[in-house]
Amino acid sequence: MTIAAIGLQKSPAPSLHGHIQIARIDHWIKTVFIIPGIVAALALDRCSVTPRILEKAFLGLLAAALIASSNYVINEVMDAPFDRFHPLKRNRPVPSGRVSIPLAYFEWIALGAIGLRLALSVSLPFMLSLSGLWIMGCIYNIPPIRSKDIPYVDVLTEAINNPIRLLAGWFIVSSSTIAPSSLLVSYWMGGCYFMALKRYAEYLHLKSEERLTQYRSSLAYFTAEGLMVSAMFYGCASMLFFGAFIMRYRMELVLSFPFIAWVMAVYLSLAFKPHSAVEHPEKLYRERKLMPAVVGCAFVMTICLLVDMPTLYKIFTPTAPVSRSYQWLHYAIDRK
């Protein structure tokens, strides 16, 4: 092909397929992060599974998927100028010219509105939680805030979607109570752990191609050591708050600790591999080492949430003298 012929080539025209792609339907798998909230509410509130709860769960997961797609659309539009500097993402629909920007903005609003209307049919608290998910998408992507460009704040603001999803799952089951704060913080810090390792993998990959600042400006402020230290902090914080939760609400979950550690260790090992699925979480289901760990951990945690094990409470009964202030605190809690 001659140089003249190359110069006459036209950019791809906007297409329906391009607009479907930016909704990232293949990322709907992330709505599974709502399910732990459903299971936790069923276990702690002792609600029974009824056809109505199953119907609400289906509608809730669909609504959450639509809200997620709305956030993905605005993410694609706002990130297009930076994606052109990424070796793979430059082929996405927006930077490659296969999306109409005005129609993309309409798609963003329409998906969000439909998702929230569907969420309202589940419950008002559920709709409010998904509103928070949509608002965090705006904070993360849209200037002048655009928190994804602020070092460390980017991880915290993206990972906060995890406790929001857990709350949403809880509100599918119960609208009169709220998930324990210790569980929410643990879920948040756990999300930060995985996000920090994603940043670590991106840092190693893009540093080798000298495209750090062009693609993601926040990566210019990071170091490999700093990202790894932050991941360790988030992982420890997550487990500390999870420990506080199980001591107060569900001692059986102590049996899940080795399985959670298994998942976190396997995920950490993947972050060191070049071009690993850690950079693209929607592809993690393809990882043969990770999926058995995730499935095994989910199974054990579900059993621990739903099956009472009185012996564990005897094993973990305090053996050292308990201070009067601690006894008074437990007495006050029990009275409530």
Each residue's pLDDT tens digit, 235-276: 999 999 999 999 899 999 999 999 999 999 999 999 998 777
User: Both 205 and 159 in a single domain?
Assistant: no
Query: 334 in a domain, yes or no?
Result: no
User: Both 55 and 160 in a single domain?
Assistant: yes
User: Both 29 and 144 in a single domain?
Assistant: yes
User: Both 148 and 249 in a single domain?
Assistant: no
Written as six digits, the tokens of 331 are 């007495």
User: Both 138 and 38 in a single domain?
Assistant: yes
Region of poorest pLDDT, from 18-27, 42-51, 102-111: 42-51
**Closest C-alpha among 43, 26, 27, 25 to residue 35:** 43
Alpha-carbon span 179 to 170, nearest angstrom: 7
**Closest C-alpha among 300, 302, 265, 270 to residue 286:** 270
User: Both 69 and 129 in a single domain?
Assistant: yes
User: What's the pLDDT score for residue 7?
Assistant: 39
For residues 189 and 237, is the Cβ–Cβ distance under 8 A?
yes
Report pLDDT digits (tens) over 62-74. 999 999 999 999 9
User: Both 123 and 212 in a single domain?
Assistant: no
Which CATH number characterizes residue 30's domain?
Answer: 1.10.357.140
User: Both 17 and 157 in a single domain?
Assistant: yes
Which value, in Å, is the radius of gyration of the alpha carbons in the chain?
22
User: Both 193 and 312 in a single domain?
Assistant: yes
| b/e per residue 31-57 (b: at least 16 CB within 10 A) | bebbbbbbbbbbbbeeeeeeeebeebb
Written as six digits, the tokens of 332 are 């006050």
Peptide bond connecting 144 to the previous residue in cis, omega within 30 degrees of 0? yes
User: Both 210 and 276 in a single domain?
Assistant: yes
Residues 6+ apart with CB under 8 A from 297: 256, 259, 260, 262, 263
**Closest C-alpha among 248, 276, 295, 306 to residue 46:** 306
Per the prediction, the chain carries an average pLDDT of 85
User: Both 252 and 130 in a single domain?
Assistant: no
User: Both 61 and 132 in a single domain?
Assistant: yes
| Entry pTM | 0.84
Query: 99 in a domain, yes or no?
Result: yes
Neighbours of 185 (CB within 10 A): 18
**Closest C-alpha among 187, 4, 197, 209 to residue 87:** 209
What is the average per-residue pLDDT within 169-173? 93
Query: 323 in a domain, yes or no?
Result: no
User: What's the pLDDT score for residue 88?
Assistant: 67
Range of the domain at 201: 180-316
Query: 143 in a domain, yes or no?
Result: yes
Alpha-carbon span 220 to 259, nearest angstrom: 35
> What's the structural domain count of the chain?
2
What is the average per-residue pLDDT within 113-119? 97
